[in-house]
């Protein structure tokens, strides 16, 4: 019995430790945990504000920016950020100036940007690997990219921490925010800029296609677990970072897509919560029978 | 209404709106509406559905931009007054997401944000203000509940408490009595009288005309513009009401039991 336990522990430990002998795995784990945490924090605001589609839009719209930045030899995050914010501004402009509904405008703008990105990739003679942009390449991440990611994460976390109450109020009741003299227009664009930044960080690990999952799933999972905003942010950060680390491990041992594994773990966590959450899970394991 | 005339708060005007015009994409909702309110009074805003009551509130808060006219609150421009926490506003219906993971206490604390530092970390005085506001609307017991777990009337009280916690000198309340029970109605009426005593200026829109007689010093009758405006005793006459409601006058002026059902 104890022998069995010992072998199980040993296997588990080697499952956890062996990958750490590769430098690329250490990098991948650190970066994806960091990006996971950052996106998890932001995902609370995205889900509460109802900006899932916006997250999808911004993450796709950064594509041409990445390509242009590579072609010009700039840090890719600068190009991505410019196009992310540009798409948001364009969405806002078209919505304001026309009678087309917002979700239509969002869909229209981001597919347009994404298409532009595809054309640019095919026309740029450079060593851009399309699959790396689309599906991430955290196992092959370079030191320069790690530095960029660190910087971006720092900025995002700083903004979200300093203004977390304002953003909470902005998501909950923008009318009240305005009535006490808070500049909601500024908050709106700031949150969208932060979203662009997080999308840039996220596409490092999971790529453009799946980054939206990083930006909404952890928030949705945490939302089912608590009625307290602060606890929700903590849970979202934890679940997101954990999914990222676990996803990288699973991807290593099964030799499968890292982005796929990360997002799949997140989805499984969500499904478990959806079934088993104490109060909001559909199985409602406890109480509710009490008078 | 001599409580109102013996103003111990100076005669500075709290609300000065001059010749406000508001249109929604070319459709006029309000024209030439003027309103001057001093410190320490309660003003009732009365008019039919669609007469522009909510629009007037929104104009006073700067949420709709008047095409003409000027507005000052406490002698300041509206954005300035808002930044100074000089004005609190409770809209007709809160367009908030009631499944938001936030407690009643935290909602009321939002009334204090404007007076806090950038990080919005509550100080003792903020907690006290929230406590007192919740006490005044009798929601202290429910302060830990998520906002979504309140009834409609309780939620209304919570948002009123948020406005109270703001400690603004001007309160703009758009139909605060909608959907609250008799007890709460009484509680709120007493609250408003207390606020007037403390020198607040309160603008209340209501469809219950008996309220106007009970506690409004001033009354504004509107239908796309200010039809009549002044001391309740002078303005709240059958003729004026007939003009406001297009011939239908609720029988609230005869002094009998106030019922809005039997129209003349
Ligand atoms: N966002 C809007 N867009 C276009 N028209 C509007 C808008 N809001 C209000 N209106 C119109 O402006 C007029 C005044 O509306 P308002 O909401 O101020 O009325 P109200 O007096 O508050 O009515 P109620 O008693 O029903 O609350 C109405 O005719 C209404 O249809
Ligand atoms: Mg109204």
For B227-252, how does the pLDDT look when each residue is reduced to its tens digit (9 = 90+)? 999 999 999 988 888 888 887 665 55
Give the domains, in start order, of chain A with CATH numbers. 31-275 (1.10.3470.10)
Going by alpha carbons, the residue nearest to atom 12 of ligand 1 is B29
Distance CA B87, CA B84 (A): 8
Nearest C-alpha of chain A: how many angstroms from B171? 11
Nearest C-alpha of chain A: how many angstroms from B142? 14
A169/B111 touch (CB, cutoff 8 Å), yes or no: no
What is the share, in percent, of chain A residues with pLDDT greater than 90? 68
The whole-number pLDDT of residue A187 equals 96
Ligand at shortest distance from the CA of B46: 1
Number of Cβ pairs closer than 8 Å across A and B?
A: 73
User: Is A165 in the B-facing interface, judged by CB distances under 8 Å?
Assistant: yes
Q: Which mutation among B22, B47, B52 tests ligand 1's pocket best, with the greatest number of atoms within 8 A of CB? A: B52
User: Regarding predicted confidence, which is higher, B44 or A131?
Assistant: B44
CA-nearest of A204, A237, A201, A200 to A218 is A237
Facing residue for B82 by CB, picked from A166, A180, A228 = A180
B96/A232 touch (CB, cutoff 8 Å), yes or no: no
In the predicted model, what is the mean pLDDT of residues A268-277?
Answer: 95
Question: Are B106 and B150 in contact, with CB atoms under 8 Å apart?
Answer: no
The whole-number pLDDT of residue B248 equals 65
Question: Are A178 and A185 in contact, with CB atoms under 8 Å apart?
Answer: no
Question: Are A67 and A116 in contact, with CB atoms under 8 Å apart?
Answer: no
The whole-number pLDDT of residue A280 equals 87
**Is pLDDT of B205 > 50?**
yes
**Is pLDDT of A162 > 80?**
yes
The whole-number pLDDT of residue A214 equals 94
Measured CA distances, A187 to A177, B84, B114 (Å): 10, 19, 15
B113/A182 touch (CB, cutoff 8 Å), yes or no: yes
**What is the number of the ligand 1 atom nearest to the C-alpha of B58?**
18
- Dihedral of CA A273/A276/A278/A282: which sign? positive
A173/B96 touch (CB, cutoff 8 Å), yes or no: yes
Strand partners, B37: B15
In the predicted model, what is the mean pLDDT of residues B212-223?
Answer: 92
Give the pLDDT band of residue A77 (cuts 50, 70, 90): confident
User: Is A182 in the B-facing interface, judged by CB distances under 8 Å?
Assistant: yes
Nearest C-alpha of chain A: how many angstroms from B94? 8
Mean of per-residue pLDDT scores for chain A: 91
Nearest C-alpha of chain A: how many angstroms from B65? 14
User: Is A150 in the B-facing interface, judged by CB distances under 8 Å?
Assistant: no
- Dihedral of CA A98/A103/A104/A107: which sign? positive
In the predicted model, what is the mean pLDDT of residues B220-226?
Answer: 94
Ligand at shortest distance from the CA of B28: 1
What is the share, in percent, of chain B residues with pLDDT greater than 70? 89
**Conformational region of residue B96, where left means phi above 0, alpha means psi within -120 to 50, and beta covers everything else:** beta
pLDDT digits (tens, 9 = 90+) for B125-178: 999 999 999 999 999 999 999 999 999 889 999 999 999 999 999 999 999 998
Ligand at shortest distance from the CA of B56: 1
User: Is A287 in the B-facing interface, judged by CB distances under 8 Å?
Assistant: no
- The DSSP code for A255 is T
Hey, what are B179's tokens?
């959907």
State the best of B57, B78, B100, B173 to mutate against chain A, taking most chain A CBs within 10 Å. Answer: B100
Q: For Cα atoms B70, A96, A211, give the angle at the middle one, nearest 5 degrees.
A: 130
The whole-number pLDDT of residue A286 equals 57
Chain A residue closest in CA terms to B160: A176
Give the pLDDT band of residue B260 (cuts 50, 70, 90): very low
CA B55 to ligand 1 centroid distance, Å: 6
In the predicted model, what is the mean pLDDT of residues B46-64?
Answer: 95
The whole-number pLDDT of residue B58 equals 96
Cα torsion A110, A115, A120, A122 to 10°: value is 150
The sheet with strand B87-90 has its strands ordered as B87-90, B170-174, B201-205, B41-46, B218-222, B226-231
Q: Decide whether any atom of ligand 1 lies within 6 Å of the B24 Cβ.
A: yes
The whole-number pLDDT of residue A130 equals 83
Q: Decide whether any atom of ligand 1 lies within 6 Å of the B79 Cβ.
A: no
A178/B95 touch (CB, cutoff 8 Å), yes or no: no
The whole-number pLDDT of residue B249 equals 62
Q: Which mutation among B51, B89, B246 tests ligand 1's pocket best, with the greatest number of atoms within 8 A of CB? A: B51
B114/A180 touch (CB, cutoff 8 Å), yes or no: yes
Question: What's the longest Cα–Cα distance across chain B?
Answer: 57
User: Is B111 in the A-facing interface, judged by CB distances under 8 Å?
Assistant: yes
Hey, what are B25's tokens?
């994409």
B113/A168 touch (CB, cutoff 8 Å), yes or no: no
Label residues A68-97 b or e (16+ Cβ within 10 Å = b).
Answer: bbbbeeebbbbbbbbbbbbbbebbbebbee
ipTM over 0.90: no
CA B68 to ligand 2 centroid distance, Å: 21
Nearest C-alpha of chain B: how many angstroms from A171? 9
Hey, what are B144's tokens?
């830990």
CA-nearest of B200, B219, B213 to B256 is B213
Question: What's the longest Cα–Cα distance across chain A?
Answer: 72
CA B56 to ligand 1 centroid distance, Å: 10
Helix axes A102-123, A63-72, angle to 10 degrees: 30
Hey, what are A200's tokens?
């840039």
The whole-number pLDDT of residue A132 equals 86
**Is pLDDT of A57 > 90?**
yes
Residues of B in Cβ contact (< 8 Å) with A226: 101
Please spell the DSSP secondary structure of chain B, one letter per residue: -HHHHS-TT-S-EEEEEEEEEEEETTEEEEEEEEEEEESSEEEEEE--TTSSHHHHHHHHTTSS--SEEEEEETTB-HHHHHHTT-EEEE-SS----TTSS-BHHHHHHGGGGGGS-TT----HHHHHHHHHHHHHTT-GGGTTSBGGGS-HHHHHHHHHHHHHHTT-SEEEEESTTTT--HHHHHHHHHHHHHHHHTT-EEEEE-S-HHHHHHH-SEEEEESSSEEEEEEHHHH--HHHHHHHTTT--BS-SSSSS--SS-B-
**What is the number of the ligand 1 atom nearest to the C-alpha of B224?**
14
CB contact set of B215 (below 8 Å; sequence gap of 6+): B42, B189, B192, B193
Distance CA B108, CA B92 (A): 17
CB contact set of B234 (below 8 Å; sequence gap of 6+): none
pTM, full prediction: 0.90
């Amino acid at each position: 019995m104890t022998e069995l336990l010992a072998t199980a522990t040993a296997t588990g430990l080697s499952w956890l430790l062996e990958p750490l002998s590769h430098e690329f795995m250490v990098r991948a784990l650190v970066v994806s945990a960091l990006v996971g945490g950052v996106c998890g924090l932001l995902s609370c605001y995205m889900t509460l504000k109802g900006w899932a589609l916006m997250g999808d839009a911004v993450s796709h719209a950064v594509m041409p920016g990445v390509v242009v930045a590579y072609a010009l030899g700039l840090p890719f995050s600068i190009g991505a950020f410019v196009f992310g914010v540009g798409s948001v501004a364009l969405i806002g402009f078209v919505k304001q100036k026309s009678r087309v509904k917002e979700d239509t405008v969002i869909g229209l703008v981001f597919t347009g940007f994404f298409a532009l990105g595809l054309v640019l990739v095919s026309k740029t003679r450079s060593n851009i690997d399309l699959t790396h942009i689309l599906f991430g390449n955290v196992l092959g991440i370079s030191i320069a990219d790690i530095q960029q990611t660190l910087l971006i994460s720092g900025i995002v976390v700083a903004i979200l921490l300093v203004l977390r109450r304002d953003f909470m109020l902005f998501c909950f009741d923008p009318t009240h925010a305005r009535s006490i003299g808070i500049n909601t227009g500024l908050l709106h664009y700031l949150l969208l800029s932060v979203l662009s930044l997080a999308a840039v960080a996220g596409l490092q690990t999971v790529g453009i296609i799946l980054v939206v999952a990083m930006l909404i799933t952890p928030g949705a999972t945490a939302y089912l677990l608590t009625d307290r905003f602060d606890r929700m942010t903590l849970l979202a950060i934890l679940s997101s970072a954990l999914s990222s680390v676990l996803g990288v491990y699973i991807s290593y041992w099964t030799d499968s897509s890292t982005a796929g594994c990360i997002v799949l773990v997140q989805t499984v966590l969500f499904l478990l919560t959806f079934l088993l959450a104490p109060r909001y899970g559909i199985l409602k394991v406890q109480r509710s029978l009490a008078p | 209404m001599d409580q109102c005339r013996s103003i111990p708060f100076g005669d500075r005007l709290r609300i000065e709106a001059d010749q406000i015009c508001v249109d929604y994409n070319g459709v006029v909702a309000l024209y030439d509406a003027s309103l001057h309110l001093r410190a320490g009074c309660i003003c009732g805003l009365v008019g039919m559905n669609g007469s522009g009551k909510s629009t007037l509130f929104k104009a006073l808060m700067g949420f709709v931009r008047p095409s003409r006219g000027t507005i000052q609150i406490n002698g300041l421009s509206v954005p300035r007054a808002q930044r100074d926490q000089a004005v609190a506003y409770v809209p007709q219906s809160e367009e908030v997401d009631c499944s938001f993971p936030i407690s009643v206490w935290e909602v009321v604390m939002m009334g204090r944000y404007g007076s806090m530092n950038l990080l919005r970390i509550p100080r003792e005085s903020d907690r006290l203000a929230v406590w007192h506001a919740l006490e005044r609307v009798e929601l202290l017991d429910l302060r830990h509940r998520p906002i979504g777990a309140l009834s409609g009337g309780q939620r209304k009280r919570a948002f009123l408490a948020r406005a109270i916690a703001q400690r603004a000198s001007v309160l703009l309340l758009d139909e605060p009595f909608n959907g609250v029970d008799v007890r709460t109605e009484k509680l709120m009426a007493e609250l408003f009288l207390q606020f007037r005593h403390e020198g607040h200026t309160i603008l209340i829109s209501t469809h219950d005309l008996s309220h106007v007689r009970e506690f409004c010093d001033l009354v504004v009758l509107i239908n796309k513009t200010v039809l009549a405006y002044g001391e309740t005793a002078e303005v709240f006459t059958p003729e004026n009401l007939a003009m406001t409601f297009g011939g239908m006058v609720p029988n609230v002026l005869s002094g009998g039991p106030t019922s809005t059902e039997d129209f003349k």
